[in-house]
Amino acid sequence: MTTAAEGAELTRVGPGTPMGELMRQYWIPAALSSELKRDGAPVRLMLLGEKLLAFRDSAGRVGVMDHRCPHRCASLFLGRNEDGGLRCVYHGWKFDVSGNCIDMPSVPAQQDFKAKVKAKAYKAAERAGVVWVYMGAAAEAPPFPELETLLVPDEEVGASFILRSCNYLQALEGDIDTSHFGFLHAGHVEPDDVPEDHPIRHTVTIRAPEYHVSDTPWGTTYAAFRDAGKGQTYWRFANFLFPFWTQQPQGEFGEHVHARAWVPLDDDHTMFVYLWWKKGSASLARPRPPLRGGKKMAHGADNAYLPNTTDWLGRWRLVANEANDWRIDRDAQSDGVFYSGIDNIHLQDQAVTESMGPITDHDFEHLAPSDQMITRTRRRLLLAARALRDEKVPPPGAADPSVFRAARSGYFLSEQNIGWREIYARRLAEAVRPAEERRAAD
């Protein structure tokens, strides 16, 4: 059970909070590179409860800084992005991407003190078509996490963003809860509807899997297993990776390479960031045998967006949301067309996690054996945040990002009668490893 005090410790991410300080030890994906134009309008960013601006200067460099001008605190969102910097429209003070004041035209030349003024700016970098921000206090930024999707050329990586109106933790926990798949996503499908070689066959045959759950160097891992008959076991492996990454078992273990971030914008809003290796997405695009009896699975990624606005939380919002009940179709629900009545796998997850409210009341929960991965991950996060706060111990992967290289998720059938860790190690050794392929090509 998670107490109310532990729940607050886990979910609050602002400056000075244990979890907020933990997350500030890492690079954070903040925006798509395509959102920032040279000398274009600055973009409002909310990250870890801080109101920031992002802009691209005349040379193409990206800056991320507090939205307040350090002169009189007018918002630099109103600023002019011109000639290598962002100029405040109030008195004309101008700042470069590092926050340095490079012009102070409203002050007499003999009294100019621009060398002593600096806007609060964070280190920014671009990788895989995404703008990343380091919000920590260290003079040197940490290395990038060595996720498999960040170890290949940028042009081989796809990226997408979706805003979710709830705390990061409940959004993240939906990704590491495998037992919901047989209900939320496939509750309307019966075993007889599914051909033998379809990947969801075993999930709908045994809707209550057994688990192995363990701490790992990158965070936590679960291995959900089901008897597949004929001496075989059906495995679904998934991971939580510090500080807010997940890997779902949504593709074949051997070739599906991806990572999903649940970036806290503030305590009540989260940006879902999905990175995938395009060459490894073949297992998802591969044609599957059709379900029998006219049954079908919900669509996977046909999300419709509202137009982006300049509000702090105005980017990458879905058309289907709480205001329209996530467009639930009660006829489709009652007729067994879709178990939830929502025809979109991502939106099904979004609806249930947003329906919990901005922050789940953890005192109200009754966790079950199927929630072992949830409780293990919460404890892992709590202990890491407290160790950083009390003993200055860097959290997993912050100082040694190579630990993320060994994290892979997916499903497979196994005939080996061996331990789950050895099965994982063997399958990982046999898997397509894009970084190794790249080194071999070089």
How far, in Å, CA of 347 to CA of 353, rounded? 10
Is 197 part of any domain? Answer: yes
178 and 32 share one domain: no
379 and 427 share one domain: yes
252 and 295 share one domain: yes
Is 15 part of any domain? Answer: no
Count up the domains in the chain and report the number: 2
Is 249 part of any domain? Answer: yes
317 and 425 share one domain: yes
Band of the pLDDT at 301, cuts 50, 70, 90? low
123 and 180 share one domain: no
Residue that the structure tokens 């109103």 belong to:
78
Q: At residue 58, what are phi and psi to the nearest 5 degrees?
A: -60, -30
Which residues sit opposite 236 in a β-bridge? 224, 411
| pLDDT at 437 > cutoff 90 | no
How far, in Å, CA of 245 to CA of 176, rounded? 10
Domain end position, chosen among 78, 108, 141: 141
116 and 198 share one domain: no
Structural domain including 44 reads 27-141
| pLDDT at 278 > cutoff 80 | yes
Which residues have CB under 8 Å from 260's CB, separation 6+? 175, 245, 246, 247, 248, 272, 273, 274, 275
In angstroms, what CA-CA distances link 113 with 109, 151, 437? 9, 44, 53
In angstroms, what CA-CA distances link 84 with 77, 80, 131, 148? 16, 10, 18, 34
201 and 339 share one domain: yes
How far, in Å, CA of 194 to CA of 186, rounded? 11
Side-chain half-sphere CA neighbours of 122 within 13 A: 30
- Residue 293: per-residue pLDDT: 79
How far, in Å, CA of 247 to CA of 408, rounded? 7
Closest CA to 169 of 344, 410, 6: 6
The C-alpha angle with vertex 224 and arms to 223 and 230, in degrees rounded to 5, equals 110
Closest CA to 98 of 133, 141, 60, 65: 65
Domain end position, chosen among 111, 141, 171: 141
Band of the pLDDT at 291, cuts 50, 70, 90? confident
Is 128 part of any domain? Answer: yes
Is 384 strand, coil or helix? helix
| pLDDT at 36 > cutoff 60 | yes
Report pLDDT digits (tens) over 135-144.
999 999 999 9
Band of the pLDDT at 285, cuts 50, 70, 90? low
Is 7 part of any domain? Answer: no
- Residue 221: per-residue pLDDT: 98
127 and 179 share one domain: no
What tokens does 15 get?
Answer: 């400056």
162 and 127 share one domain: no
Band of the pLDDT at 297, cuts 50, 70, 90? confident
| pLDDT at 326 > cutoff 60 | yes
Band of the pLDDT at 7, cuts 50, 70, 90? very high
Is 10 part of any domain? Answer: no
Q: At residue 197, what are phi and psi to the nearest 5 degrees?
A: -95, 15
Q: Is 143 left (phi over 0), alpha (psi -120 to 50) or beta?
A: beta
224 and 258 share one domain: yes
Q: Is 160 exposed, middle or buried (0-12, 13-18, 19+ CB in 10 A)?
A: middle
Percent of the chain with pLDDT over 70: 96
CATH label of the domain that carries residue 59: 2.102.10.10
331 and 376 share one domain: yes
What tokens does 416 get?
Answer: 């080996």
The C-alpha angle with vertex 157 and arms to 151 and 158, in degrees rounded to 5, equals 150
| pLDDT at 440 > cutoff 60 | no
Note the helical H segments in 306-408: 330-334, 345-355, 372-391
Is 194 part of any domain? Answer: yes
Is 352 part of any domain? Answer: yes
82 and 179 share one domain: no
CB 163 within 8 A of CB 271: yes
Domain end position, chosen among 110, 141, 172: 141
